């Protein structure tokens, strides 16, 4: 018999309502020690029950919900108490439950029990966490797809194909005639190659997937006073960074984000790149260079047409000319803007004004196009989880071994690498993950989840 666990499932703090969740064989009994329904008949499953919380000196009106096993989130008997969302009150109710036989749930323990009881697989539990942590429409949609089993479906299909492979190999091992062995080897090679192709298609979504989950990292770079901080403010739509006409105003890096086309963009404003004796500014410039190196995209800002450029350590750069509301040279250019062969403006991807907002929306669109693979954004499956990516790489390596050696090695050896691939895939859904791995994953979940 498993222990009955409980936790506050709503955020710690003050709010209208707090929900306390209890799961385990004694959930109903333990809840009944502090919660008394006004209507004393047997609690009806999955129906709100109005009643009173009463223990020691504490009383409150509350709603109780009873989900008998197996039709609950965890697959066990679950009771949820909806009480008033006071910080003190919810702690007091939690403590009362602990004193009356429940134990405090560990991080992710409700989800872990749900997985162990077959209510969902591990990738779906991870999907729930992604839904909770989503910070943009695209990351929310990716999280829900995972939660509804998109990854599970893909993994199980590949595992089924590998099972077919295993069956072939076992038949050949049981009837060791040369012909069968040859046919088996070719078939195993073909199936492996087919699955490698599937895995590669999924791995190709990983970069965009991680950007969608974590946000796209964009860095503003350029000389002092070209308008980087002003551009940050223009992109955000409010004045976050300090803007002055004094060169070297921005010294530390500054990070803020906005959502565009459902994707979150993390924008970093940096200290202008120049030689300086100022220790603080110089430390800021070192930081700026680190940010430039690791960014998904760099926006190189200039405010003069013919200024030389510094080579930046990043392959993805948008060159922009700012201050087109003032720049004398640019005025001439915009007058001649029909001349598409203008050599000077050709050096820039886009001309903007942080001050008037001209072309800022186009800049946002350009940033989007230069980072997000729009073909992938709505694909059924997008890899957003580094653990899944790592498992797929391992499965792939085992399949490459299998395919390469299919015709030259023994069936026993093939059986081993096929099994390795099968197990690596199973770690994604949790079916082949050992207890240590499972505990590690759920330890990253939040309390009460």
Ligand X SMILES: Nc1nc2c(ncn2[C@@H]2O[C@H](COP(=O)(O)OP(=O)(O)O)[C@@H](O)[C@H]2O)c(=O)[nH]1
Q: Is 302 in the site for ligand X (CB under 6 A)?
A: no
Q: For residue 23, what are the β-bridge partners? A: 5, 78
The answer to whether 270 and 253 have CB atoms below 8 angstroms apart is yes
Partner from Mg ion, ligand X, none contacting 245, C-beta within 5 to 8 A by type: ligand X
Q: For residue 84, what are the β-bridge partners? A: 17
Tell me whether residue 6 or residue 324 sits nearer to ligand X (CB atom): 324
Site string for Mg ion, 197-236 (x = CB under 5 A): -------------------------------xx-------
Q: Is 363 in the site for ligand X (CB under 6 A)?
A: no
Provide CB contacts within 8 A for 194, sequence distance 6+.
161
DSSP states of 378-402: T-S-----HHHHHHHHHHHHHHHHH
Count, residues near ligand X per rule CB under 6 A: 20
Q: Is 244 in the site for ligand X (CB under 6 A)?
A: yes
Site string for ligand X, 255-294 (x = CB under 6 A): -----------------x----------------------
Q: How far is the CB of 361 from ligand X (least distance, A)?
A: 15
Q: Is 322 in the site for Mg ion (CB under 5 A)?
A: no
Provide CB contacts within 8 A for 226, sequence distance 6+.
272, 301, 302, 303, 322, 323
State phi, psi for 332 to the nearest 5 degrees: -60, -40
With residue 18 as reference, give the H or E element that holds it.
strand 17-23
Partner from Mg ion, ligand X, none contacting 225, C-beta within 5 to 8 A by type: ligand X
Q: For residue 37, what are the β-bridge partners? A: 51
| DSSP-derived secondary structure letter, 306 | T
Phi/psi zone of residue 251: left (φ > 0), alpha (ψ -120 to 50 degrees), beta?
alpha
Partner from ligand X, Mg ion, none contacting 124, C-beta within 5 to 8 A by type: none
The answer to whether 51 and 35 have CB atoms below 8 angstroms apart is yes
- Segment contacting ligand X by CB under 6 A, of 192-200, 318-326, 330-338, 374-382: 318-326
The size of the chain, in residues, is 449
Q: Is 229 in the site for ligand X (CB under 6 A)?
A: yes
Q: How far is the CB of 311 from ligand X (least distance, A)?
A: 19
Q: Is 354 in the site for ligand X (CB under 6 A)?
A: yes
Tell me whether residue 249 or residue 432 sits nearer to Mg ion (CB atom): 249
Q: How far is the CB of 355 from ligand X (least distance, A)?
A: 3
Q: Is 250 in the site for Mg ion (CB under 5 A)?
A: yes
Tell me whether residue 111 or residue 322 sits nearer to ligand X (CB atom): 322
Partner from ligand X, Mg ion, none contacting 129, C-beta within 5 to 8 A by type: none
Partner from ligand X, Mg ion, none contacting 215, C-beta within 5 to 8 A by type: none
Say what angle helices 411-429 and 150-174 make with each other, to 10 degrees. 160
State phi, psi for 14 to the nearest 5 degrees: -110, 135
Q: Is 228 in the site for ligand X (CB under 6 A)?
A: yes
Provide the 3-class DSSP secondary structure of residue 180. Answer: helix
The answer to whether 64 and 31 have CB atoms below 8 angstroms apart is yes
Tell me whether residue 218 or residue 226 sits nearer to ligand X (CB atom): 226
Q: Supply 111's token pair.
A: 């989800």
Partner from ligand X, Mg ion, none contacting 111, C-beta within 5 to 8 A by type: none
Q: How far is the CB of 309 from Mg ion (least distance, A)?
A: 18
- Segment contacting ligand X by CB under 6 A, of 74-82, 188-196, 240-248, 386-394: 240-248
With residue 87 as reference, give the H or E element that holds it.
helix 87-99
Q: Supply 134's token pair.
A: 């989503």
Q: Is 243 in the site for ligand X (CB under 6 A)?
A: yes
Tokens 């957003």 found at: 384
* Sites of contact with Mg ion (CB under 5 A): 228-229, 249-250
* Sites of contact with ligand X (CB under 6 A): 224-230, 243-245, 249-250, 272, 322-323, 325-326, 353-355
């Amino acid at each position: 018999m498993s222990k009955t666990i409980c936790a506050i499932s709503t955020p710690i703090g003050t709010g209208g309502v707090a929900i306390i969740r209890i799961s385990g064989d004694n959930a109903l009994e333990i809840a009944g020690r502090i919660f008394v329904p006004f209507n004393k008949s047997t609690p009806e499953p999955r129906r709100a029950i109005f009643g009173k919380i009463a223990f020691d000196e504490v009383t409150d009106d509350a709603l109780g919900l009873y989900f008998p096993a197996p039709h609950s989130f965890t697959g066990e008997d679950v009771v949820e108490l909806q009480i008033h969302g006071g910080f003190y009150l919810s702690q007091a109710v939690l403590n009362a439950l602990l004193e009356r036989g429940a134990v405090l749930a560990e991080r992710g323990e409700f989800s872990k029990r749900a997985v162990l009881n077959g209510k969902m697989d591990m990738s779906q539990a991870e999907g729930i966490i992604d839904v909770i942590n989503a910070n943009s429409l695209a990351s929310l949609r990716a999280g829900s797809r995972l939660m509804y089993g998109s990854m599970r479906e893909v993994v199980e299909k590949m595992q089924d194909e590998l099972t077919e492979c295993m069956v072939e190999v076992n038949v050949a091992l049981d009837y060791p005639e040369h012909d069968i062995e040859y046919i088996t080897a070719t078939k195993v090679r073909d199936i492996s190659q087919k699955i490698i192709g599937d895995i590669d298609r999924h791995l190709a979504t990983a970069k965009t997937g991680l950007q969608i989950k974590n946000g796209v990292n964009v860095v503003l770079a350029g000389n002092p006073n070209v308008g980087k901080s002003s551009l940050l403010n223009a992109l955000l739509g409010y004045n976050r960074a300090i803007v002055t006409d004094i060169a070297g105003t921005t010294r530390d890096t500054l990070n803020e984000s906005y959502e565009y086309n459902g994707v979150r963009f993390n924008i970093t404003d940096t200290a202008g790149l120049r030689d300086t004796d100022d220790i603080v500014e110089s430390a800021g410039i070192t930081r700026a260079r680190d940010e430039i190196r690791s960014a998904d995209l760099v926006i190189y800002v200039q405010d003069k047409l013919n200024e030389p450029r510094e080579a930046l350590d990043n392959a993805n750069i948008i060159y922009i000319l700012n201050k087109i509301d003032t720049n004398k040279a640019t005025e001439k250019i915009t007058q001649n803007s029909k001349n598409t062969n203008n050599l000077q403006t050709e050096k820039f991807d886009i001309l903007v004004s942080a001050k008037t907002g001209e072309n800022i929306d186009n800049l946002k669109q350009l940033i989007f196009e230069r980072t997000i693979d729009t073909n992938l954004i709505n694909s059924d499956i997008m890899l957003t989880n580094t653990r899944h990516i790592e498992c797929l790489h391992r499965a792939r390596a085992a399949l490459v071994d299998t395919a390469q050696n299919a015709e030259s090695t023994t069936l026993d050896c093939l059986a081993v690498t096929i099994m390795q691939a099968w197990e690596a895939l199973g770690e994604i859904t949790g079916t082949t993950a050992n207890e240590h791995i499972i505990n590690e994953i759920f330890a990253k979940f939040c309390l009460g989840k």
